[in-house]
Structure 1
């Protein structure tokens, strides 16, 4: 009983170790070594390497943690990985240039951005087949879904815009002009705002989803790639700067830049919001940032050319 009371007290004052607060894994796509590294974020070490092929880039882990879906642009394929078993259980020919990938909250539908076709492919994971295509803007890259699964947002890089897709009708409902060459896109937990990393204009566009319009811009570092949200802040990977730019979500004012590895790309916040995980393309590593103290606490070596573009974290409990 005494142990339980002490544990409860520690939790109430914020002394719970990170390992207990966030039992998660990172599924990091390594484009140059054609594989996927699974990193245990509690022990901060790789625990598995899974061969993928086709220069893997995008990745999305299902909400229940059962599967990871990985895009391979060179193979024109989507690979299905059993996350717990650490093995490939399917490969779907999607054609074109698959890049960004998103999974419906219930896991019943997978969406893949086709860079070359200005379209999003709709995939039924039960039959492992493409069942529909949705027209979006030129060079769709990042995809994100609202928490209720009703809307899919596509960052259309060469159209300088974001497409808003109704997932029930599978039709584009709106087109929102943003900064130059939007690439990564992230939606907040409430489904109210979206954030695009604009590679060409070195800023982040803030979108009001209900109103389907851009409501603000935040200057960041050179060639921003993707955005993560935690602790009331936005965290943006600056590829050319080797940094993560931090800004306040309420005021949209810059807060700090944190030096990470070389050419950071994929970025995600742990479920407890206490850590930010960053994939560093040139350093072949993953940086771990304390989201409260705003400093790098650890670095883990992974494969060659890590991108981790998408929702690449998996809860393990």
Structure 2
């Protein structure tokens, strides 16, 4: 029976693109086992486990799929992983407490939230060195870049705000008040709206990016961590609730709460928009949700303490 379930799940995750079939991989940071696990979502199996160290937390895969960038708060470093070769390519010391991480759409720049310094470190991917530091709010956590690469948003947890950074000028140009203790931040495909998971107020703030203001709030489960968007809906990991809250992006009305593993944290959408991948920290699993049917359709074992905080999926041809 288990083999049949895995076969059905594998078939459901075999995606079709303009050039034929392609697959996806999940690059999962396992904080307690201090490694990065690469999971083939087509076969629902681990491909390789790469030692990282320093309690890895944040992860961001470049748009071209060539590299995965991993933050290690205890090592005060970012590890660069060659995604195809499945090996560490470099380690960059950034200092402080690196947590959230995002890669510019063109892959030339990586942004790292320094939890302790109220700053975002800027890494040049060609030289693999820190080239600038941008002042933001207190305890920056989640980061996201607009699709055109012109703006960077930082969820500043202990300031209850989101910083809007001009990436060309490398300076903050706006600060937006949101809910209590924002953590994950996600920008929609058009680059018009952003969504923050507010850990302290158990809701999601909706931001109009052009106007630099909050335009709505959505109640969700206990201790929301991060947000994913697909098919006109928002999906939010509720750490203490062991659920994923679903809401309508147009009306901002709650739709459903889906029970997943214990302490869900990282969340991402597959390239076809049909599946939601959820990292459950205490269950040591990835849960897979059908975005249309709004139910869990599979589970994959991970290492110890998966966080996968960031853009952790990679498309492979």
CA distances 1:229-252 after superposition (whole Å, capped 9, x unpaired): 011100000000000000000000
Q: Which residue of 1 aligns with 2:86?
A: 86
Whole-angstrom distance in 2 between the partners of 1:244 and 1:191: 24
Secondary structure at the counterpart of residue 158 of structure 2: helix
Unaligned 5+ runs, structure 1: 1-15
Q: Which residue of 1 aligns with 2:77?
A: 77
Whole-angstrom distance in 2 between the partners of 1:41 and 1:211: 38
Report the alpha carbon displacement of residue 23 of structure 1 after superposing the two structures with TM: 1.2
Whole-angstrom distance in 1 between the partners of 2:151 and 2:203: 24
Secondary structure at the counterpart of residue 105 of structure 1: coil
Secondary structure at the counterpart of residue 23 of structure 1: strand
TM-score (norm 1): 0.94
Q: Which residue of 2 aligns with 1:239?
A: 239
Unaligned 5+ runs, structure 2: 1-10, 17-21
Is the 2:25–2:313 contact (alpha carbons within 8 Å) kept by the matching residues of 1? yes
CA distances 1:272-295 after superposition (whole Å, capped 9, x unpaired): 100000000000000000000000
Whole-angstrom distance in 1 between the partners of 2:37 and 2:247: 29
Whole-angstrom distance in 1 between the partners of 2:87 and 2:133: 28
Whole-angstrom distance in 1 between the partners of 2:51 and 2:201: 36
CA distances 1:169-209 after superposition (whole Å, capped 9, x unpaired): 00101000000000000000000000000000000000000
Q: Does 1:269 align with 2:269?
A: yes
Secondary structure at the counterpart of residue 15 of structure 2: helix
Report the alpha carbon displacement of residue 92 of structure 1 after superposing the two structures with TM: 0.3
Whole-angstrom distance in 2 between the partners of 1:18 and 1:55: 30
Show the 5 A alignment for 1:140-179. 140-179=140-179
Show the 5 A alignment for 1:14-29. 17-21=12-16, 23-29=23-29
Report the alpha carbon displacement of residue 125 of structure 1 after superposing the two structures with TM: 1.1
CA distances 1:210-260 after superposition (whole Å, capped 9, x unpaired): 000000000000000000001110000000000000000000000000000
CA distances 1:120-152 after superposition (whole Å, capped 9, x unpaired): 000011111100000000000000000000000
Show the 5 A alignment for 1:21-170. 21=16, 23-170=23-170
Is the 2:265–2:281 contact (alpha carbons within 8 Å) kept by the matching residues of 1? yes
Q: Which residue of 1 aligns with 2:210?
A: 210
Report the alpha carbon displacement of residue 17 of structure 1 after superposing the two structures with TM: 4.8
Q: Which residue of 2 aligns with 1:9?
A: none
TM-score (norm 2): 0.94
Q: Which portions of structure 1, spanning 4 or more consecutive aligned residues, are displaced by more than 2 angstroms?
A: none
Q: Which residue of 2 aligns with 1:316?
A: 316
Q: Which residue of 2 aligns with 1:295?
A: 295
Q: Which residue of 2 aligns with 1:3?
A: none
Give the superposed CA RMSD: 0.8
Secondary structure at the counterpart of residue 309 of structure 1: coil
